[in-house]
Structure 1
Amino acid sequence: MGDIGAMGGNHVHELVRRQNAGENQGGGSSSISGLVSTLIPTLIIAVIAFTGFLILSRRFQRIYQPRTYIESLRGSQRSPKQSAGVLGWRNEYNALKDEFILGHSSIDNYLWLRFFKMLTLMCLVGCIVTWPILFPVNATAGGGQSGLDILSFSNVQPGPRYYAQALVAWVFLGWVVFMITRETIYVTHLRHRFYQAPYNAARVSTRTVLFSNLPEDARNEQFLRAEFAGAKHVWLVTVPDDLADKVSERDKAAAKLETGEVKMIQGYVKAQLKKEKKGQESRARLNGAAPASAIELTDKERPKHRLPVLKFLPFGKKVDTLDWSRGELKRLIPEVANEQHEQRGGAGEAKGACFIEFATVEAAEAALRSSKEKKKSKIRPEELGMHPDNVLWKNTTKKSAQVKIMSALCTAFVWFLCIFWTIPVAVIGAISNINYLTDKVPFLSFINDIPDVILGVVTGLLPVILLAVLMALVPIIMNILASLFEPTQGRVQMKVQGWYFPFQVIQVFLVTTFASGAASVVTQIINDPTQAPTLLAQNLPKASNFYISFFILFGLMNSAMMMLNIVPLLLFIILGKLLDKTPRKMYNRYINLGGLGWGALYPKFTNLGVIALAYSSIAPLILGFATVCFALLYLAFRYNILFAVGTNVSTRGESYKRALKQLTVGIYISEICLIGLFAIGVGTTNQSIGPLVLMVVFLVATILWQIWLGRKVNKMDAELPSQIAAEGWLGGRSAPRNSQSDSVTSESALKNGHGNEKPDSLPAVESAPLPQSGKKPISQRIRAFFAPTSAALENVHSVAGNLSTPPRPYTQQEHDEAYLHPALISECPMVWIARDQYGLSKQEVGATQAAVGKDLLTITDEGAWFNDKGKIEWPHEDEGSLRKVPIWEDEPEY
């Protein structure tokens, strides 16, 4: 899903060109023709992409509906199987409510969909409020505009009509303020109830807090238990770098051995099959039995690799891969095991961080909050609810001062990027409108002689490609920077979201808008530079025309391409065949579901909301196109989240709260734009003073509202945990029993009951049944909309069947190792090779066991085989087959 939303900012300058095409020569507006020229090709591409989805979705179920059957998901996490037929998926798609995602996927995925519903409703109401008033007011104002521009503020002369703009802005922006307030209260209540549900409350991560910057005297369990009275379990962080390096070397040697074995056996199998095809003498097929006599392979048939003196050099001593890997494993496996035993026995030095598990979610919340309030305490509370797999271990032990310095430097660098990126983005914007500059910049006059086809490529395709490369680099750079000091992947995503949003607003919105506006009036500015501010301000509403096309392009093409899922499809088909040469690589690609990157995704779409808000009063037509855009994006994301994607990194709903806060930037930009336009109008007539004062008052009120909302949320975060714990996570209601669950809920289901071994078998599971639920009466839904607290309770209750069933209990070993550094608990991976018909795999299993030792290394050729074409096959189609794979693990739900 890494391609989702990637196209958004890349088309802006192409749309600038289309929107303004011809205006320079004719002096009129070509906004309608530009709109049509964008709509028709975009619609054609969208139809083709959606048709491709309909055709391919039945054939490539792993890409388009893995959540309905894949066994790496528990039964309670699966979606109902889709009905047969090209359009069969619509039955389940329409029957499932969005709250199904809350119970079966994750709170982040659920809130991501809710974000688009909120944006759609926000813009739809905006159309209802603004169009009946502003369209006739603007269209009859006699400003001399044409095309779509007659519906915008640019057609209005300074005077009493400004009151209509101001009053409509009060009503619509007031509605947006209400929406943000409602959603903020809703998500705050939802998060606290969701995480106190039995399913989440029983998970160790929900009750565990990461603390860092521990002073020397605090790095012991006795001190920490005294400091935090409700502590149930304490993990002191050790970062054994030397051991981690050895673990990495051991695992690389195992991977080398596995890859080398499979490559050698596959080469031998293909050679034998070739002989059989030609009728030549070949090795007898043994159907999995060991060969009676050893299979002799020449030196050329055995895999080899080089050992460079320096890792980045491509040359070095050439060695036999199998012999070298076996020797390394025989050396490293006992070394690693001994060091792990010593480190866990107390030899490891406790660093400046710890994980503390509390008995209840309420106690964990209270500990986190009280630690933040202790100003004199050196101990720094970092995060609650992080999954062990998402911990960045080296960053947990960094000192507070070091983290602050690195954060400040990286933030400064990001703001430098915002300024630096302005130059190439502005240049790209100028390229897309370069025909506007030819009349006043003599050396560019040759552009008029360029053939239209070539000019179209230069002004259309080239800017899109250049901007695509520029924009793709930004979130990658930000992820790298945030990973230098943030302690968890969740915090990295939140940091990237905080950085990338202003970048999006500045580059995709503000710079592009003003670059386009400046290009369209450059001649007038050159003639009279003193009029530059007025000309730019007056042409700002006209810039909305290309954003109308932008919303069309974003809504139609992006939603259709998301349904097609072309990038995951190509990665699965092409890269899978090219790179997945061992059963393990095939298995890993098959079972791992892609997730959404909140840090890069939220800012792109929040910026769309900001653009819609910014133009809502000065060019209200944009709200209609934004409504359609957000609705289509909602529908496309809904399909993918229901049937295709998982959750790789959790922010526990915090990314949604931040997006709501960032959306207020659109309110402020809208207010400031109107204030600026009204202020310019004051120079013409005093009748503009009244609307100006109204907007200044509203701006002050918005600032006061945001301060109030922040304090209210802080108060709710402090009071809700204890309040919900007292009344129950369902507010006193009873939770329905959920018959569809694969959770094992008693210790008796665990092997021998001692808690030292992982369960070795679980019953096969099926997809979740289709929930039976009717629609609520519209009056009840309206009441719920204006009661966010009750709505949050109701939505949690609707999935209480899933949330009331705890995950299977942890074994003692699983619990003790939950937040230990991976190097301390990592076991040598099993070597898994494919079985061949001639017995070579059996011979290699025996040779490896003899060279390394059966007690040190496990190697098997079960669960995968070479077919009659020499290609690897493994069982993954039938129900329950995935659990029979040798490397299958029923991992605990931390």
Structure 2
Amino acid sequence: MDTSYLVRRQQQTGAGSHRNSQGSSLSALFSTLIPIFIISSIVLIIFLVLQKKLHRVYRPRTYLGSLHKDEQSPQQSSGALGWTKELRQLADEFVLGHSSIDNYLWLRFFKMLTIMCFAGCCITWVILFPVNATGGAGQSGLDVLSFSNTNPGARYFAHAITAWLFLGFVMFLITRETMYYVQLRQAYFLSPFMTSRISSKTVLFVDVPESYRNEAYLRHIFPDVRTVWLVNDPEDLEDLVEERDNAATKLEQGEVKMIQSHLKAEAKAGKSDPAESRSSHGSIIHVDDKHRPSHKLKPLIGKKVDTVNWSRSELHRLIPQVAKDQSNYLAGQTKSSSACFIQFSSVRAAQVAFQQVGHQHPFHMTPKEVNMTPDDVIWKNIGKPWWLVGLMNWAATGFVYFLCIFWTIPVAFVGLLTNVNYLTREVPFLSFLDAIPSQIMGIITGLLPVILLAVLMALVPIICGLLAKMFEPTQAAVQMKTQSWYFPFQVIQVFLITTFSSGAASVGAQIAQDPTQAPTLLAQNLPKASNFYIAYFILFGLMTAALQLLNVMPLLFVLVLGKFIDKTPRKMYNRYTQLGGLGWGSLYPKFTNLGVIALSYSCIAPLILGFATVGFGLLYLAYRYNIFFTLGTQVSTGGRSYMRALQQLTVGIYLSEICLIGLFAIGTSSASICVGPLILMIIFLLGTIMWHYQMHSALHKLSVTLPADLLAEEYQDLHAEGHTEKGRHTNGSTHVNGSTHVSGAMPDSYQIPQPQSASTPEKPTGIMGRIKTFFAPTKFSSAAALSKFTLSPHLAEPVRPYTQQERRDAYVHPAAMAECPTIWLARDKFGLSRQEIEHSRREVGEGLEITDEGAWFDEKNKVQWDEGNVRGMPIWEERVVY
């Protein structure tokens, strides 16, 4: 490659050229690293101070009594509140039994990325740093270590061989992790805790023909059916329930606000004795109209009404109307919908029904989901016809692609900022930027684009999620669809557009003067875009990890926002007892894209792998802490989001190969020996395609279904199955692998069922044992081995037996079962809350539950509630693990 043209242009710009060539690398690196390091250090110090004081923000899982047993930490189960040695020594596998498989695989994803990038450093740095540093292309700063500093010639063989080694290792790693996921999924979903749940045996069918909407007929075409839930159209019932609940919320908020206003007025008047408040009105406490809350029925133009009186009248009207419509729905007096839920007698029967074709015509009687809980279902979508769902899917996908094009303009501008100092040499009206100090210019080209890009990308996953909720049947499906949309958006906008605009910006003027030099100049300058992603990894590694530890939003709610927003006992209770979760559809694409970037630049600018290793490692530690102590699981995909992320990571392999092929092809015009590396990379690309196809063919079905050989020996817990409720005597026994165990006394080490010919190897120990486990996952990480060494004992216990009502109502439309929320007030010393309770009961009538137990106004007239008795609060409901 002839670089004399570029060198002459640098020499003509004199001293300024030195600043420009190096300013975009070292100056931008340090200008990004130093402020982020300082800010991250301050954030970390704040976290270390606050985490010892604010237990609700930084350790809720260690003591929160509202958590289900499978969500507890060892500190909670043992009653310890300190930072115990036991907890410090916990392995990630603990998350499987006490959180979710999604949270466990999220941690494993960062471990895999860290290992991938560290191995890349070991391979690429040893070979490519000396090759690039002595390449003779005249680059400076960080660019001296990149491909752009290597003249075309025999040195390109080093890049090709390195690509074979490193990318081959990545392909092995992805294959290994895919196999591990398949085997972990088998062990997890065949554990007693999962197989004893109703959801594991329930299949959602959509587009059910009208002639099939009959329980007797469904039992006829499917064997081993236990329960059938035919979904009817709730018609206006959902709207009525929503109106009733909104009225209940307004009544609760209005009552609390009125009582608080009255207390403040009485305190201002100097009245502290309840008798003083009643003296002028007999036994009735009078509240001035100015202290009674009001609202408008419609924003701005609506009629203004008294909130308490209006809410009571609405509840008086709606409660009996909702009860009547619910009775009609349960009696089957509404129009049937084209969806049904069928619970089978075993997981095996459910899997058979899920995998088979349910109807002779396509798009009819489609098994849509299995293992979904009732809370996961989006009820308004499951009855939509297939053609409408398909049309909405195509329209939403097209809109997302439109966003990819639309977002190109602002993202390209961000890319230009990363190399704005290169443009000052050729564009006269930008020459004033040369007067900016190098430190400030480093921030403009390093830190500012990173922040702008992060802000710009924040809105996109929200849009994707809203679109997916219009037609997907479950919340998990929404997350998966969002992940499938948001990842290509990330690759196109955050990576490809930014890379191309950044590389083209640095040589835009030269290309305009001599278009024939475009391939050579772009090949030499595209690697410089890696400087932007080095800053990107610094931001994500240091800043994001620090902010994850600080737990910003819960901290703000505890210290500031909660005092202004949480005014009722219910809001305070919900804030205290509910744990936040992670949105897989928006999180995985961002970090998968970082993995793609690291892979794409691994053989072009290998320095990026070092920053990626540190960045992914810090993110792993931050998320590990939060998953152990602060995070729950709001939506579970059963690990499918991890599997998709692994497949999406292969995009980085393809992009790396294509980039090298393009660079080698450009180099052939200067040195014919470059044909050798070019042929090697073409061969490797073809091999990658074959590998990807073969892996997908072999493992895809196993990633969504369970194998018959393991299902044949499915764990059965007759007591949890509820056979005793039907009069069958099990003598208190359960069956595991054909053996009989006393109910409640689980085997010491539960092991997943396996074919008779299979045998579980002993758990490898030591360094050699870990190496064997890593390189032989099918033997040492099989489903049987994982259930023996990884899952036990956390998932070896079945869920508690379901009651008859819980079984009957499991997949009934929630609008048909929803009761009016309990109105929870706070007790005051004047007795106004008791008076309001009596008035509400009298004016609303039957069906209203209202109380002031467990909450009170303190001496400062602020709402308080009994945090030490979470389960004793009026709105406490035991969570049924379906």
TM-score, normalised to structure 2, is 0.88
Residues 531-579 of structure 1, C-alpha deviations (whole Å, 9 max, x = no match): 1122112212222223223222221111111111112211333221111
Post-superposition Cα deviations, 1:473-508, rounded to whole Å, max 9, x if no partner, equal 111111111111111111011001001001111111
C-alpha separation between the residues in 2 aligned to 1:225 and 1:100? 40
Aligned CA distance change for structure 1 residues 160 and 456 (closer, same or farther; 3 Å): closer
What is the rounded CA distance, in whole Å, between the counterparts of 2:855 and 2:724 in structure 1?
A: 29
Q: In 1, distance between residues paired with 2:49 and 2:363? A: 61
Matches within 5 A, 1:595-606: 595-606=581-592
- Does 1:304 find its partner at 2:294? yes
Partner of 1:787: 776
Residue 42 (1) aligns with residue 36 (2) = yes
CA–CA distance in structure 1, aligned partners of residues 441 and 117 of structure 2: 36
- Structure 1 residue 405 displacement after superposition: 1.1
**SS of alignment partner, residue 237 of structure 2:** helix
Structure 1 residues 383, 58: CA separation in 2 closer, same or farther (over 3 Å shift)?
Answer: same
Matched AA of 1:865: W
Find the counterpart in structure 2 of residue 883 from structure 1.
871
Task: Give the letter for the 2:289 counterpart.
Answer: D
CA distance in 1, matches of 2:428, 2:300: 53
- Cα pair 1:285 1:838 within 8 Å, conserved: no
Per-residue CA deviations over 1:756-782 (Å, capped at 9, x if unaligned) read: xxxxxxxxxxxxxxxxxx994222222
* Alignment match of 1:531 (pick from 506, 517, 525): 517
- Tell me what 2:56 maps to: 62
CA gap of 1:483–1:595, structure 2 versus 1, over 3 A, is same
Higher deviation after alignment, 507-516 or 533-542: 533-542
Q: Which residue of 1 aligns with 2:637?
A: 651
How far does the alpha carbon of each residue in 1:583-638 deviate from its partner, in whole angstroms, 9 at most, with x for none? 01111111111100000000000011001101111121211111111111100000
Bigger shift: residues 595-604 or 329-338: 329-338
User: Match of 1:820?
Assistant: 812
Contact 1:388 1:819 in 2 (8 A): yes
Cα distance per residue 1:302-349 (max 9 Å; x no partner): 2222223xxxx3233222222222222122111111111111011022
Q: Counterpart of 2:65?
A: 71
Amino acid at match of 2:817: I
**2:404 maps to which of 418, 428, 441:** 418
Structure 1 CA distance, aligned partners of 2:184 and 2:444?
50
Q: Aligned to 1:156, which of 150, 159, 173? A: 150
Correspondence 1:176 to 2:170: yes
C-alpha deviation, 1:420, in angstroms: 1.2
Q: In 1, distance between residues paired with 2:36 and 2:824?
A: 48
The equivalent residue for 2:864 is 873
In 2, Cα distance between the equivalents of 1:261 and 1:350? 40
| Structural mapping, 1:9-20, within 5 Å | none
Distance 1:138 1:307, change over 3 A: closer
State the shift of 1:80 in Å. 2.8
Q: Which residue of 2 aligns with 1:849?
A: 841
Assess if the C-alpha contact under 8 Å between 1:99 and 1:795 holds in 2: no
Shift in alpha-carbon separation, 1:693–1:561, aligned structure 2, 3 A: same
Does residue 836 (structure 1) correspond to residue 828 (structure 2)? The answer is yes
Q: Distance in 2 between matches of 1:245 and 1:374?
A: 37
Aligned to 2:230: 236
Cα displacement (A) at 1:83: 14
Q: Map 1:600-639; keep pairs closer than 5 Å.
A: 600-639=586-625
Q: 1:386: how far off?
A: 1.5
Separation in 1, partners of 2:173, 2:775: 10
Distance 1:704 1:286, change over 3 A: farther
Partner of 2:6: none
Partner of 1:438: 424
- Counterpart of 1:122 (choices 116, 129, 137) is 116
CA 140–571 in structure 1, closer or farther in 2 if over 3 Å, else same: same
Query: Is the contact made by 1:24 and 1:520 (CA closer than 8 Å) also made in structure 2?
Result: no
Aligned to 1:17: none
2:567 partner SS:
coil
Query: Structure 2 CA distance, aligned partners of 1:569 and 1:372?
Result: 51
1:640 to 623, 626, 631: 626
Letter matched to residue 304 of structure 1: S
Please list, as runs of the form range in 1=range in 2, the aligned pairs for 1:558-573 lying within 5 A after superposition. Answer: 558-573=544-559
Determine if contact 1:23/1:29 at 8 Å carries over to the other structure. Answer: no
Give the Cα–Cα distance (whole angstroms) in 1 for the partners of residues 434 and 83 of structure 2: 52
* Preserved contact between residue 189 and residue 720 of structure 1 (Cα < 8 Å): no
Code of the aligned partner of 1:619: A
Alpha-carbon distance in 1 for matches of 2:683, 2:419: 38
* Residue correspondence of structure 1 range 214-253 to structure 2 within 5 A: 214-253=208-247
**Partner residue, 1:140:** 134
How many residues are matched?
823
- Deviation string 1:116-170 (CA, Å, 9 cap, x unpaired) is 1111111111111222222222222222222322222112222211111111111
Amino acid corresponding to residue 670 of structure 1 in structure 2: S
Q: Mark the CA change 1:250 to 1:83 in structure 2 (over 3 Å): closer, same or farther.
A: closer
Cα distance in 2, alignment partners of residues 37 and 413 from structure 1: 38
Match of 2:466 among 463, 468, 480: 480
Compute the displacement of 1:715 (Å). Answer: 5.0
Alpha-carbon offset, residue 415 of structure 1: 0.8
Q: For 2:812 and 2:425, how far apart are their aligned partners in 1?
A: 69
**Is the 2:238–2:815 contact (alpha carbons within 8 Å) kept by the matching residues of 1?**
yes
Describe the shift of the 1:776–1:451 C-alpha distance in structure 2 as closer, same or farther (beyond 3 A). Answer: closer
Q: Please say if residues 111 and 656 of structure 1, whose CA atoms lie closer than 8 Å, have aligned partners that are also in contact.
A: yes
Structure 1 residues 195, 321: closer, same or farther in 2, change over 3 A? same
What's the % identity of the aligned pairs? 57
Counterpart code for 1:272: E
CA distance in 2, matches of 1:124, 1:499: 29
Q: What secondary structure sits across from 2:91 in the alignment?
A: coil
Query: Could you tell me which of 177, 191, 199 is aligned with 2:185?
Result: 191
CA contact (8 A) 1:863 1:885 kept: yes
- What amino acid maps onto 1:832 in structure 2? W
Gaps of 5+ in 1: 1-21, 736-743, 754-773
Name the CA distance, whole Å, in 1 between partners of 2:563 and 2:618: 33
RMSD (Å), alpha carbons? 2.9
Alignment of structure 1 residues 458-857 onto 2, 5 Å: 463=449, 466-717=452-703, 720-727=706-713, 776-789=765-778, 790-793=780-783, 794-797=785-788, 798-853=790-845, 855-857=846-848
The one-letter code of the counterpart of 2:113 is L
Q: Distance in 1 between matches of 2:359 and 2:61?
A: 42
2:255 maps to which residue? 261
State the structure with bigger RCO (CA 8 A, min sep 6), 1 or 2. 1
Deviation at 1:89, TM superposition (A): 3.8
Per the TM alignment, residue 701 of structure 1 is displaced from its structure 2 partner at its CA by 0.7
The alpha-carbon deviation at position 223 of structure 1 amounts to 2.4
Going from structure 1 to structure 2, the CA distance change for 1:458 and 1:76 (only over 3 Å counts) comes to: closer
SS in 2 for 1:356: strand
1:381 and 2:367 are equivalent in the alignment: yes
- Contact 1:835-1:864 within 8 A present in 2 as well: yes
Equivalent residue letter for 1:677: L
- Deviations for 1:47-70, whole angstroms, at most 9, x for unmatched residues? 111111011112211111111111
C-alpha deviation, 1:517, in angstroms: 0.9
Q: Are the structure 2 counterparts of residues 26 and 43 from structure 1 closer, same or farther at C-alpha, using a change threshold of 3 Å?
A: closer
User: Distance between the aligned counterparts of 2:384 and 2:16, measured in 1?
Assistant: 58
Q: What amino acid maps onto 1:157 in structure 2?
A: N
Match of 1:28 in 2: 21
CA–CA distance in structure 2, aligned partners of residues 268 and 650 of structure 1: 46
Structure 2 unaligned spans of 5+: 1-14, 729-762
> Which moved further from structure 2: 556-565 or 372-381?
372-381
Report the Cα offset of residue 292 of structure 1. 7.8
Separation in 2, partners of 1:110, 1:553: 24
**Would the alpha carbon gap of residues 718 and 178 (structure 1) be closer, same or farther in structure 2, given more than 3 Å must change?**
same
Q: Which moved more, 1:825-834 or 1:435-444?
A: 435-444
Give the Cα–Cα distance (whole angstroms) in 1 for the partners of residues 307 and 705 of structure 2. Answer: 61
Contact 2:120–2:609 (8 Å) recurs in 1: yes
Identify the residue that residue 160 of structure 2 maps to in structure 1. 166
